Amino acid sequence: MKNNKISFKEIVSHAKQYGFVFPSSEIYDGINAIYDYGQYGIYLKNNIKEYWWKSMIQINENIIGLDTSILMHPNIWKASGHVSKFKEIFLYNEETKSSYRLDLLIENYFKTNLKKETKLKHKLRKYLDKKLKRNETYKILKLINKIKLIAPKHKNNKLTKWTKIYEYNLMFKIPLKEHEHEKKKFYLRPETAQGIFTNFLNVLNTSKMKIPFGIAQIGKVFRKEIIARQFLFRMREFEQMEMQFFIHPNQEEKWLEYWKKKRLKWHLSLGLGKKKYRFYEHEQLAHYAKKAYDIQFKFTFGFKELEGIHSRTNFDLKNHEKYSKKRFRVFDKEKKTVYIPYIIETSVGLDRMFLAVFSSALKKETIKDTDTKKERIILKLNPALSPIKAAIFPLIRDKRLISYAKDIYQNLNLDFILIYEENDSIGKRYRRQDAIGTPICVTIDFQTLKDKCVTLRFRDKMLQKRVLIKDLKREIKKETSMNQLFKLLR
């Protein structure tokens, strides 16, 4: 049987060949884990963004949006714990000449050697936590050698010696002025969340929001990822779509469950397949989280985190109180006391969403061209997310057909993102649109001159139909409107 599976290499190559994603600075040999979005990629990315934004802000009365700065006061990162705790620990293996993230190595070790929750597993975890807290990393190195951990890339699964353990902070540090004192250095934000927390009082004072309510934001973040070889999955500059939901402390469980369900429903509405998602509860928690779940997605390289849903308790607001000396308290009408709100966070990477949507939509098809068989890749995107909503073609390069087609294009391009094309055969033009995910092609032929009808060809339906030019707007809207997705969220 023929293998119709799309490989990771094919995904990266299609993204580049068809103007979705380019490696950044390519003419200078590129830069690891940084990418540019091309002429079609930007539309797909914006459509995912719009769908998330409207699902948060427009549909929920109690969620508002912000757009906060990337550069913030350096104390914010001290208060948030990022200066002291946003670190990765790496182990260096001499033989494979590679560094490995400690948490991933341990997770892998547990998975293969200690599948079930055993006393030993529990003991190991406790020991690691203790040594990390005390900064006794040399003891961890000793342990790793003692339990004979094998380097994942080692050819013969042979035992190797681990020679070095080191840690570093994932935040990019930058001086705001030349010769700035080390202590005054700024950071490029590693999460958008802190801009929301630090504006909590501004929102309370200027809006009608009352607990429970949420603040959402989309924005660029930066991280010094060391293992960054997975295309859009792990980048050094990427975008996050985050929502922080402020609640009463005794409602933590209720809202955590609520947001887990609500976010999964959002992902399922995109129609990428129910089996591609699963929840994963974190054993190793980020420094700010009391409980954390991932919505994992089945990428071509396995189930991996797509979105994080965290209970951050009052960790952030409490620490901002301490550092800023401002009071982050709200009044509890029932108990007649004040409290610092708890926070449930939903955080999804926009670029990871792009990868999930783009890679799932790529399908291989075999087509017959007269007497030869050709393989082609078609991008079966949800029409609401497609970059181009419709392509307008004159059947051939005839003056009258061109004039009609251009008129239609001009009349509709205020409502939709369209493409006009007159070169090559109609078959080749259809195929180019299939490769970029355009759901509808509109062809103007000689019959159009008589009956004012055009032929609509639908990418996925194996169907063509003729419609009056005056009904085109309605037809394209029906097929591509984002409202179809919103309805699934109700």
Q: Quick check: 88 binds ligand GAP (CB under 6 A)?
A: no
User: Which residue, 10 or 305, is less far from ligand GAP as judged by CB?
Assistant: 305
Q: Quick check: 316 binds ligand GAP (CB under 6 A)?
A: no
Residue selected from 235, 435, 440, 472 as contacting ligand GAP according to rule CB under 6 A: 235
Residue 340 has what DSSP assignment? Answer: P
Contact 340, 329 (CB under 8 A): yes
User: Which residue, 65 or 422, is less far from ligand GAP as judged by CB?
Assistant: 65
Q: Quick check: 351 binds ligand GAP (CB under 6 A)?
A: yes
Contact 242, 345 (CB under 8 A): yes
Judge residue 329's burial from the number of C-beta atoms within 10 Å of its C-beta, 0-12 exposed, 13-18 middle, 19 or more buried.
Answer: middle
**Per-residue binder mask for ligand GAP (CB under 6 A), 25-64, x = binder:** ----------------------------------------
Owner of token pair 């960054």: 228
**Nearest residue (beta carbon) to ligand GAP:** 349
Report the run of H or E that residue 442 belongs to, with start and end: strand 440-444
Residue 170 Cβ, how far from ligand GAP at the closest point, in Å?
9
Q: Quick check: 421 binds ligand GAP (CB under 6 A)?
A: no
User: Which residue, 351 or 434, is less far from ligand GAP as judged by CB?
Assistant: 351
Q: Give the interface segment with ligand GAP, choosing from 73-81, 301-309, 410-418, 464-472 (CB under 6 A).
A: 301-309
Contact 388, 418 (CB under 8 A): yes
Residue 281 Cβ, how far from ligand GAP at the closest point, in Å?
14
Q: Quick check: 453 binds ligand GAP (CB under 6 A)?
A: no
Q: Which of 120, 87, 95 is nearest to 106 (CA)?
A: 120
Residue selected from 47, 55, 191, 433 as contacting ligand GAP according to rule CB under 6 A: 191
Residue selected from 38, 41, 214, 308 as contacting ligand GAP according to rule CB under 6 A: 308
Residue 52 Cβ, how far from ligand GAP at the closest point, in Å?
12
Q: Quick check: 193 binds ligand GAP (CB under 6 A)?
A: yes
Q: Give the interface segment with ligand GAP, choosing from 77-85, 110-118, 347-355, 424-432 (CB under 6 A).
A: 347-355
User: Which residue, 356 or 381, is less far from ligand GAP as judged by CB?
Assistant: 356
User: Could you tell me if residue 179 is left (phi over 0), alpha (psi between -120 and 50 degrees) or otherwise beta?
Assistant: left
Q: Quick check: 437 binds ligand GAP (CB under 6 A)?
A: no
Q: Chain centroid to CA 141: how far?
A: 34
Q: Give the interface segment with ligand GAP, choosing from 174-182, 348-356, 376-384, 454-462 (CB under 6 A).
A: 348-356
Q: Quick check: 82 binds ligand GAP (CB under 6 A)?
A: no
The rounded distance, in Å, linking the Cα atoms of 464 and 441 is 9
Residue selected from 349, 394, 437, 439 as contacting ligand GAP according to rule CB under 6 A: 349
Q: Give the interface segment with ligand GAP, choosing from 72-80, 313-321, 345-353, 378-386 (CB under 6 A).
A: 345-353
Report the run of H or E that residue 50 belongs to, with start and end: helix 41-53
Residue selected from 20, 162, 197, 238 as contacting ligand GAP according to rule CB under 6 A: 238
Contact 457, 430 (CB under 8 A): yes
Q: Quick check: 223 binds ligand GAP (CB under 6 A)?
A: yes
**Per-residue binder mask for ligand GAP (CB under 6 A), 267-286, x = binder:** --------------------
How many residues bind ligand GAP, per CB under 6 A?
Answer: 19
Contact 361, 271 (CB under 8 A): no
Q: Quick check: 348 binds ligand GAP (CB under 6 A)?
A: yes
Tokens for 312, please give them. Answer: 């951050």
The rounded distance, in Å, linking the Cα atoms of 342 and 324 is 18
Q: Is it true that the peptide bond before 212 is cis, omega within 30 degrees of 0?
A: yes
Q: Chain centroid to CA 214: how far?
A: 20
Q: Quick check: 198 binds ligand GAP (CB under 6 A)?
A: no
DSSP-H helix ranges across 151-192: none
User: Which residue, 192 or 448, is less far from ligand GAP as judged by CB?
Assistant: 192
| Three-state SS at 389 | coil
Beta strand residue intervals within 161-301, DSSP E: 162-169, 173-174, 186-187, 213-222, 237-247, 277-281, 291-299
What values do phi and psi take at 280, rounded to 5?
A: -135, 125
Contact 385, 48 (CB under 8 A): yes
User: Which residue, 197 or 404, is less far from ligand GAP as judged by CB?
Assistant: 197
Beta strand residue intervals within 86-225, DSSP E: 87-93, 98-101, 162-169, 173-174, 186-187, 213-222
Residue selected from 64, 128, 144, 306 as contacting ligand GAP according to rule CB under 6 A: 306
Tokens for 443, please give them. Answer: 């062809």
Tell me the CA distances in angstroms from 141 to 88, 110, 155, 213, one per residue in order. Answer: 15, 17, 22, 45
Q: Quick check: 242 binds ligand GAP (CB under 6 A)?
A: yes
User: Which residue, 88 or 191, is less far from ligand GAP as judged by CB?
Assistant: 191
Residue 125 Cβ, how far from ligand GAP at the closest point, in Å?
20
Residue 251 Cβ, how far from ligand GAP at the closest point, in Å?
20
User: Which residue, 297 or 393, is less far from ligand GAP as judged by CB?
Assistant: 297
Q: Chain centroid to CA 393: how far?
A: 34
Q: Quick check: 103 binds ligand GAP (CB under 6 A)?
A: no
Give the total residue count for the chain: 490
Contact footprint for ligand GAP (CB under 6 A): 191, 193, 223, 225, 234-235, 238, 240, 242, 305-308, 345, 347-349, 351-352
